[in-house]
């Protein structure tokens, strides 16, 4: 349902942000779009870029099953399929990625990534079709069957007249499929190996040979003991006292994956200590503790700076309460698009909690959310319902403990709201008081009005114009009604309307995905800046990108909102492009596994 929503694709802020190598069906021109500077890829350096820009469509493991894939008119390439990835040389893959192929929904990335970043990203994408075990197998075969002519490092043996397989400027011109043909049939003085090696062995040795020309390894080596030390104090912020005898977990992450978990116990002063840690600057660390049992708290993510071996990572915990009186909503964003007789709605709600105790709810839920009648295809925080988020009649609940503080929880959810005819009333309410409410309604030629939100005119995004509505000081349970008339009819929209009265089902809301929303949130936040005491531009000011990431680190669900804040800082010229790109990768990639674990917790 809602699978073919093409209109939304035109304004995705990061140009669909999900296709690295769109398709291998159409032949690439024999003359590349421009001269290519050959640079050996470092696949591990491209891992974070892949997670941010490619995984949403191609999937984290390259199976073409990313959360945005269903909204594309062309299925994304399964990069984990060796046959598909073997069809193109690296030069071709680079050209497709840099210059795009819009016939296959492939945007050009040359304006967003440097050439080296593209090479690295392509290198990591290429690695998804193989494994460490296959590469190791290929090395054994190479040393036994190939090294005598090609040399132990692939650079060739002069007497054999063999090519330099370690020179990426040479190997990048030839596809894996072309190599396979030469290996099987023989070429020049090289004998045929079809009868000497199995198909699997041939593939393994060619994969290893390819890796010889890369600028870095395909896979991260197993973690080894280092000189790094991380210490921290677990403090009960409700009482001001240190917490002895608590088990602390330390997660070790690369750009997209949790590599290891270590444990320690706090001493009498509430201090924990982890030693012999790798100081690799590409690794990130985060500490986690529960107090009381099943009430988790997490630290910020930190990395060792070059030449540094010590880090301090404090962990606050709180006493608990079942009194919801201190819950406040700092801001609410409604983002509405239209397609084929349906409104595609995203809501981002930012919570604060007054006091010095964590709110644990009533045993069944912590936060409650309503849905409008007839809502379909509910998706919450890109996670599965049934764990942290549980659907109930008329809405859903969040069961994760809410810590005290400002902007401590962000919940993003999406749904489709079918309508009949050319008019729709969007009616919303929250059981909590809201300081700021903002609605962005895509202008598709309709009239928009609300007696509850003030009309601020239209704002322009890359996609076009949006009605901008604002309000402050909305009481708890106050009904907000937004009326839209003159909407395009569903005729020819290609959307299966299904039931218009049943409860929300779970699934995809098509093109209205988090990458679309992330772009519009910056616009929404800019609009909300007109409100008094705009939280996203709070008076404490910006203290660099580290402070931004830290303010959201204790709640991984803040990812989308943190990205919007980063976008604002970058667009305002408050941070450099390099710093913006680096922190954006950290927020979107390094928190991925943490988000999954928090949801399960």
pLDDT of residue 388: 87
**Which pLDDT score is estimated for 382?**
52
Cα angle 482-347-47, degrees, rounded to a multiple of 5: 150
Q: Is the pLDDT assigned to residue 441 strictly greater than 50? A: yes
CA–CA gap between residue 328 and residue 285 (Å, rounded):
31
Res. 586 pLDDT band, cuts 50 70 90 = low
What average pLDDT does range 366-386 have in this prediction?
85
Confidence of residue 419 (pLDDT cuts 50, 70, 90): very high
CA distances from 364 to 192, 243, 441 (A): 67, 28, 34
Domain ranges of the chain: 7-127, 132-211, 228-317, 324-600
Question: What DSSP designation does 429 have?
Answer: -
Residue 549's pLDDT is: 33
Asked if 157 and 149 count as a contact pair (C-beta separation under 8 A), the reply is: yes
By C-alpha distance, which of 215, 225, 218 is closest to 136? 218
Range of weakest confidence among 8-22, 302-316, 514-528: 8-22
CATH number, span 228-317: 2.60.40.1120
Determine whether 6 is exposed, middle or buried from the number of CB atoms within 10 Å of its CB (0-12, 13-18, 19+): middle
87 against 221, higher pLDDT: 87
Residue 471 three-state SS: strand
The three-class DSSP label of residue 11 is helix
In the chain, % of residues over pLDDT 70: 74
| Confidence label for 37 from pLDDT (cuts 50, 70 and 90) | confident
Strands 395-398 vs 389-392: parallel, antiparallel or unpaired: antiparallel
pTM: predicted TM-score of the whole model, two decimal places? 0.63
Whole-number Å distance between alpha carbons of 557 and 571: 23
SS3 490: coil
Residue where the block lists tokens 């409700």: 238
pLDDT tens-digit readout, 295-330: 999 998 899 999 999 999 999 999 999 999 999 999
The edge-to-edge listing of strands for the beta sheet with 447-449 is 423-428, 480-485, 447-449
Contact 351, 329 (CB under 8 A): yes
Q: What pLDDT score does 459 carry? A: 85
Read off the DSSP letter of residue 488.
P
Q: Who has greater pLDDT, 22 or 464?
A: 464
What confidence score (pLDDT) does residue 9 get?
31
Tell which residue, 555, 563, 556, 542, has the closest CA to residue 590. 556
**The predicted structure's pLDDT at residue 10:** 30
For residues 376-402, average pLDDT: 85
Question: pLDDT tens, 442-488?
Answer: 999 999 999 999 999 998 766 678 999 999 999 999 999 999 999 98
| CATH architecture, domain defined by 132-211 | Orthogonal Bundle (1.10)
pLDDT tens per residue, range 98-119? 888 777 777 788 888 899 999 9
Q: Which CATH code fits 324-600?
A: 2.60.40
When the pLDDT of each residue in the chain is averaged and rounded to a whole number, the result is 79
- Alpha-carbon dihedral sign for residues 38, 43, 49, 55: positive
**What are the strands, taking DSSP E only, across 81-227?**
none
Mean pLDDT on 497-509: 41
Decide whether 7-127 matches 228-317 in CATH topology. no
Predicted pLDDT at 102? 72
How sure is the predictor about 332, in pLDDT bands with cuts at 50, 70 and 90?
A: very high
Q: What is the CA radius of gyration of the chain?
A: 26
The SS3 of residue 292 is coil
128 phi, psi to nearest 5 deg: -70, -15
Does pLDDT of 25 surpass 50? no
Q: For residue 411, give both structure tokens.
A: 């919940």
Q: Is the Cβ–Cβ distance between 595 and 559 less than 8 Å?
A: yes
- Note the pLDDT of residue 504: 53
Tell me the mean pLDDT in the region 331-354: 91
pLDDT of residue 464: 75
What is d(CA 514, CA 521) in angstroms, rounded to the nearest whole number? 10
Domain 7-127 listed as CATH 1.10.730.10: no
Tell me whether residue 439 is exposed, middle or buried, using C-beta atoms within 10 angstroms of its C-beta: 0 to 12, 13 to 18, 19 or more: buried
Instruction: Tell me the range of 290-294, 318-322, 361-365, 544-548 where mean pLDDT is highest.
Output: 318-322
Query: What letter would DSSP give residue 219?
Result: S
pLDDT tens digits, one per residue of 132-183: 999 999 999 999 999 999 999 999 887 777 889 999 999 999 999 999 999 9
Question: Can you give 444-457 as a three-state secondary structure string?
Answer: CCCEEECCCCEEEE
Query: What confidence category does residue 531 fall into, taking pLDDT thresholds of 50, 70 and 90?
Result: very low
For the segment 557-578, the average pLDDT, to the nearest whole number, is 53
């Amino acid at each position: 349902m809602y699978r073919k929503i093409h209109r939304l694709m035109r304004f995705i802020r990061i140009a669909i942000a999900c296709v690295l190598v769109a398709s291998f069906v159409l032949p690439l021109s024999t003359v590349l779009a421009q001269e290519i500077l050959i640079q050996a890829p470092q696949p591990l350096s491209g891992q974070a870029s892949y997670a941010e820009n490619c995984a949403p469509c191609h999937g984290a493991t390259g199976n073409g099953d990313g959360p945005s894939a269903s909204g594309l008119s062309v299925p994304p390439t399964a990069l984990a399929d060796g046959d598909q990835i073997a069809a193109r040389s690296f030069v071709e893959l680079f050209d497709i990625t840099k210059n795009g192929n819009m016939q296959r929904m492939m945007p050009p990335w040359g304006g967003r990534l440097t050439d080296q970043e593209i090479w690295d990203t392509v290198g990591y994408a290429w690695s998804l079709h193989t494994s460490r075990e296959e590469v190791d197998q290929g090395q054994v075969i190479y040393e036994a069957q190939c090294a005598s002519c090609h040399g132990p490092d692939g650079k060739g043996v002069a007497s054999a007249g063999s090519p330099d397989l370690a020179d990426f400027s040479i190997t990048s011109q030839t596809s894996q499929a072309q190599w396979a043909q030469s290996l099987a049939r023989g070429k020049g003085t090289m004998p045929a190996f079809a009868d000497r090696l199995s198909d699997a062995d041939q593939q393994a040795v060619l994969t290893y040979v390819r890796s010889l020309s890369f600028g870095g390894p395909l896979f991260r080596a197993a973690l080894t003991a280092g000189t790094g030390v991380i210490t921290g104090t677990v403090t009960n912020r409700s009482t001001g006292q240190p917490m002895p005898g608590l088990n602390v977990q330390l997660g070790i992450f690369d750009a997209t994956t949790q590599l290891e978990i270590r444990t320690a116990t706090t001493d009498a002063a509430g201090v924990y200590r982890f030693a012999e840690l790798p100081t690799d600057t590409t690794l990130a660390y985060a500490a986690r503790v529960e107090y009381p049992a099943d009430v988790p708290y997490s630290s910020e993510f930190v990395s060792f700076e070059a030449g540094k071996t010590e880090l301090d990572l404090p962990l606050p915990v709180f006493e608990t309460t079942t009194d919801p009186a201190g819950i406040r909503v700092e801001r609410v964003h409604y983002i509405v698009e239209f397609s084929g007789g349906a409104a595609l709605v995203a809501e981002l709600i930012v919570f604060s909690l007054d006091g010095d105790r964590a709110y644990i709810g009533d045993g069944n839920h912590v936060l409650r959310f309503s849905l409008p009648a007839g809502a379909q295809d509910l998706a919450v925080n890109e996670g599965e319902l049934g764990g942290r988020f549980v659907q109930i009649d008329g809405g859903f609940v969040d069961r994760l403990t809410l810590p005290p503080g400002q902007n401590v929880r962000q919940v993003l959810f999406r749904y489709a709201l079918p309508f009949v005819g050319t008019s729709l009333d969007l009616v919303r309410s929250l059981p909590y008081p809201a300081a700021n409410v903002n609605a962005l309604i895509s202008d598709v030629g309709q009239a928009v009005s609300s007696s509850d939100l003030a009309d601020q005119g239209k704002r322009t995004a890359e996609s076009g114009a949006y009605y901008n509505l604002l309000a402050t000081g909305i009481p708890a349970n106050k009904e907000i009604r937004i009326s839209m008339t003159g909407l395009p009819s569903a005729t020819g929209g290609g959307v299966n309307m299904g039931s218009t009265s049943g409860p929300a089902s779970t699934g995809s809301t098509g093109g209205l995905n988090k990458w679309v929303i992330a772009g519009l949130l910056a616009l929404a936040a800019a609009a909300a800046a007109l409100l008094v005491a705009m939280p996203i531009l709070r008076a404490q000011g910006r203290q660099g990108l580290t402070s931004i990431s830290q303010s959201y680190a204790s709640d991984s669900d803040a990812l989308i909102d943190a990205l919007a804040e980063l976008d604002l800082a970058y667009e305002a010229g408050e941070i450099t492009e390099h710093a913006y790109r680096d922190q954006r990768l950290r927020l979107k990639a390094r928190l991925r596994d943490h988000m999954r674990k928090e949801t399960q917790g």
